[in-house]
Amino acid sequence: MTQDGRRRVPRPMRWAAILLTLAALLAPAGPAAGKAAAGRVAAADKPAGGTIALAVDATGAPRRILRTRETIPARPGALTLAYPKWIPGDHAPSGPIVDVVDMTFTAAGKRLDWRRDPADMFLIHLNVPEGAAAVEAALDLVMPAAGDASSASDRLLTLIWSQVLLYPAGPKGDDIRIAPEVRLPAGWRYGTTLRAASEPGKEEDKPAKEGDLIRFRPVSLTTLVDAPLLAGAHFRTVALSPAGDPRTAYLHIAADSDAALQAKPAVFDAYRRLVAEAVALFGARHYDEYHFLLALSDHVAHFGVEHHESSDNRIPERGLVDDDTRVLHADLLAHEMVHSWNAKYRRPAGMLTPDYRQPIDSRMLWIYEGLTNYLGFVLAGRSGLLTADQARDQLAWTAAVQSRRTGRDWRPLEDTGTAAQLLYYASPEWESLRRGVDFYGEGTLLWLEVDTLIRSRTGGARSLDDFCRQFHGGVDGPPVVKSYTEEDVYTALDRVAANDWRGFFAERVLKVNRRPPLGGIEASGWTLAFGDAKTPLLESREGVDDVTDARFSIGLLLDAKGRIVDVLGDSPAARAGVAPGMTLVAVDGRRSTRTVLEDAVRAGAPSVDLLAENGDYFRTCRVDYSGGLRFPFLDRREGTPDLLGAILAPRTAPPAGR
């Protein structure tokens, strides 16, 4: 999860899934153990090849249940089937196998016994009888209810193929062929990068009639997992590319109501410009078509996940029509589209695996996600999804949050990536002391500093845009993957602007730093400052999320019910004995509300008395603080050029609306 919980956030695990993760981490590890496990599967199994027939009945999506039937070619003898475990984009063993129920297998008309692997619970062992040429697998996926990890509401569904299939362990994902089909509820329409088997041309969205199946052309397992499907009763598709563009981009929207689809024309024009600005930034496209899949619902988890030719994006139901909500999620689609170049086309070598069983090495998430976070921020500004004021407010908030992380005293930035599979699912309590997946927010600050340094060293002749075109560009073409190492990045940056980039990043990424990299903000003509007035962005954040953010004054972050989510480590509240998990009941003897707390802090008295509920007990904590309210903003540095404004300035002309 990012520090604001908005950009690319994998599906949260519940406790059962967390236990599976810990079991995987405690199991024998290392190259030797991995080779032994792979050898055991390869020695015993005899994958038959051929094409797997995968049929998903999604008519139960409103009830949050999906039914799968697979025909898996097989030879007689031992067979091990795998359920996808390490999901690309989640950076964790997040495959929801705990939600797989009613799993049975038959072959040659006989029901087969099966056993789960005791060391890797995502593996299923069975024996194929003589005379059988295939195994029929049946399983159901029961999805969590609203929030948590839900992908469905009464009116929409995001189908993640990796959650509804098994595949033979052993072969690479590229070598496994699958012919998928799905049955949707009557009247629902859909969007996906998959091509319908019945149509010779390109698929956009089309109605699914009751009883009809949508059959797709066979693809590899790798491609299928990389191609989610969005469907819903209230559905809209918007073309985002100019007429005649051979590599068209689409925005598919499924919502819980028709009203949620009625965004202003200017909103769609900004998304058209986003596509144009992304192409201008990178100079080439590594997709045949690009499909934004956007679910608008208050009953699904909110996050984004990247794919080569699409992205799975989920925001509140009024995320396009309510200005406050829209602005809070303005850079989500920009972030996920950048991943088509930085993560899918160019990917850290440690994050390339042959299938979904092997752990990934996520140390370089400060590039994979950090650079993407910065470029998503930039493109949101260039496209008009964020105004200049909103972009500065977002940058100030990011810098302020990172500046108050007391966990900076012990955990370097790289470790937030190495430990991402744990940090994504950590409790929000004590986040400032623990540090979360800070490679997102701090990545924005880090790569802004890189951008300004390149501009400084080249006298303004070059920028990070030049690195993006050289490192991520090339020529238009279908999806491919080119791996890279840290040295490749340093070398590419050095070709753009000579510098000791290895030393630059070692200082900021590998070492413990009490201060975040604020050099980019300062070099761009601004400085992080604090005042007693909330920025409009912070007003929107507190209103939409119903939180009270007093971290920059007394050190408290509270949720809608007054529960204390976090306390900054060396803040006045922490010194007074306030801790996460308590509930703020009263302020100076009056029942606590956001207004009551802010009025008390604003008054500037020598101290503020907080009555906190701690389980079955109550305690009064006297907070010694008289500094008034403090909120972050960017202050203009006199006598310096506004380089930040130049970075966020559009590179393309506004596209014609349609």
Residue 617 belongs to some domain of the structure: yes
The pLDDT of residue 468 is above 80? yes
Mean pLDDT for all residues in the chain: 91
- The single residue listed with the structure tokens 């602005």 is 327
Q: Are 123 and 115 in contact (CB under 8 A)?
A: no
The pLDDT of residue 17 is above 70? no
Q: How many domains does the chain have?
A: 2
Residue 544 belongs to some domain of the structure: yes
Name the least confident of 43-57, 176-190, 634-648: 43-57
* pLDDT at site 211: 57
Mean of the pLDDT values across residues 459-467? 98
DSSP output for 121-157:
TTEEEEEEPTT--EEEEEEEEEPPSSSTT--B-SSEE
522 plus 396 within the same structural domain: yes
* pLDDT at site 623: 98
Q: Within its chain, how far is the Cα of 288 from the centroid?
A: 23
392 plus 481 within the same structural domain: yes
Per-residue pLDDT tens digits for 244-267: 999 999 999 999 999 999 999 999
Residue 208 belongs to some domain of the structure: no
Percentage above 90 pLDDT, the chain = 87
Mean of the pLDDT values across residues 606-616? 97
Q: Are 525 and 640 in contact (CB under 8 A)?
A: yes
523 plus 540 within the same structural domain: no
Domain that holds residue 518: 365-528+639-648
376 plus 468 within the same structural domain: yes
466 plus 575 within the same structural domain: no
CA nearest neighbour of 400 among 535, 525, 508:
535
* pLDDT at site 14: 40
Residue 348 belongs to some domain of the structure: no
Mean of the pLDDT values across residues 455-483? 97
* pLDDT at site 152: 96
Per-residue pLDDT tens digits for 169-195: 999 999 999 999 999 999 999 999 999
CA nearest neighbour of 342 among 468, 198, 430, 176:
468
CA nearest neighbour of 363 among 381, 373, 351, 345:
351
* pLDDT at site 151: 95
* pLDDT at site 177: 98
Amino acid letter, 431: E
Residue 599 belongs to some domain of the structure: yes
* pLDDT at site 209: 52
Residue 270 belongs to some domain of the structure: no
* pLDDT at site 455: 98
Report the alpha-carbon distance of residue 439 to residue 446 in Å, rounded.
9
Percentage above 70 pLDDT, the chain = 90
* pLDDT at site 146: 64
Per-residue pLDDT tens digits for 490-508: 999 999 999 999 999 999 9
477 plus 578 within the same structural domain: no
Mean of the pLDDT values across residues 345-360? 96
Per-residue pLDDT tens digits for 300-350: 999 999 999 999 999 999 999 999 999 999 999 999 999 999 999 999 999
Q: Are 435 and 405 in contact (CB under 8 A)?
A: yes
* pLDDT at site 383: 98
* pLDDT at site 130: 96
> Please, which pLDDT band fits residue 150 given cuts at 50, 70 and 90?
confident
The pLDDT of residue 11 is above 80? no
574 plus 426 within the same structural domain: no
> Please, which pLDDT band fits residue 206 given cuts at 50, 70 and 90?
low
φ, ψ dihedrals at 567, nearest 5°? -130, 125
CA nearest neighbour of 307 among 271, 334, 351, 345:
345
Report the alpha-carbon distance of residue 643 to residue 458 in Å, rounded.
14
pTM for the full model?
0.92
Helix (H, G, I), strand (E, B) or coil at 269: helix
Residue 354 belongs to some domain of the structure: no
548 plus 450 within the same structural domain: no
602 plus 581 within the same structural domain: yes
CATH classification of the domain holding 563: 2.30.42.10
The pLDDT of residue 107 is above 70? yes
Report the alpha-carbon distance of residue 256 to residue 52 in Å, rounded.
34
> Please, which pLDDT band fits residue 214 given cuts at 50, 70 and 90?
very high
496 plus 627 within the same structural domain: no
Report the alpha-carbon distance of residue 100 to residue 566 in Å, rounded.
35
567 plus 512 within the same structural domain: no
485 plus 403 within the same structural domain: yes
Residue 301 belongs to some domain of the structure: no
Task: Give the chain's end-to-end CA distance (angstroms, integer).
Answer: 36
Collect contacts of 600-609 with beta carbons under 8 A, ≥24 apart: 601/550, 601/553, 601/554, 601/625, 601/628, 601/629, 602/532, 602/628, 602/629, 604/628, 608/554
Structure tokens at 444: 């924005």
* pLDDT at site 168: 98
Residue 522 burial by Cβ neighbours in a 10 Å radius (0-12, 13-18, 19+): middle
Per-residue pLDDT tens digits for 549-600: 999 999 999 999 999 999 998 899 999 999 999 999 999 999 999 999 999 9
Structure tokens at 489: 């990045």
Structure tokens at 449: 């500093």
DSSP output for 341-384:
TBTTTEEEGGG--SSSSSPP--TTHHHHTHHHHHHHHHHHHHHT
